Amino acid sequence: GDSVTQMEGPVTLSEEAFLTINCTYTATGYPSLFWYVQYPGEGLQLLLKATKADDKGSNKGFEATYRKETTSFHLEKGSVQVSDSAVYFCALEGVDSSYKLIFGSGTRLLVRP
């Protein structure tokens, strides 16, 4: 079945460092791909999404490109801030998944001043 694999955390960076969080997926067809973020004490919120191959989703300085050839959707940010400290979840909605999302295990990011 469909699945999502994320790099394990925690990822600890200094402020203004470059961030990459890896995400790869297994699915049939062309799933839609998402990144959700969970700030401490809160529920998840959508960060960005891409619905077809080579699409780039972007929001709040974060970017991710839908790479069909490598089945990846890595999250990047050029300069992280302390306020970016959170747990990041990669997710997919499969072609036949009936609007259900399949989540990766989450990657905790800690940004130090």
Partner 1 sequence: DVKVTQSSRYLVKRTGEKVFLECVQDMDHENMFWYRQDPGLGLRLIYFSYDVKMKEKGDIPEGYSVSREKKERFSLILESASTNQTSMYLCASSQWRGSNNEQFFGPGTRLTVL
Q: Which is nearer to partner 1, 3 or 14 (CB)?
A: 3
User: 105, 6 in Cβ contact below 8 A?
Assistant: yes
Nearest approach, Cβ of residue 66 and partner 1 (Å): 12
Nearest approach, Cβ of residue 48 and partner 1 (Å): 11
Residues 6+ apart with CB under 8 A from 69: none
Nearest approach, Cβ of residue 14 and partner 1 (Å): 25
Binding site residues, partner 1, CB under 8 A? 4, 6, 32, 36, 41-46, 49, 51, 89, 93, 98-101, 103-106
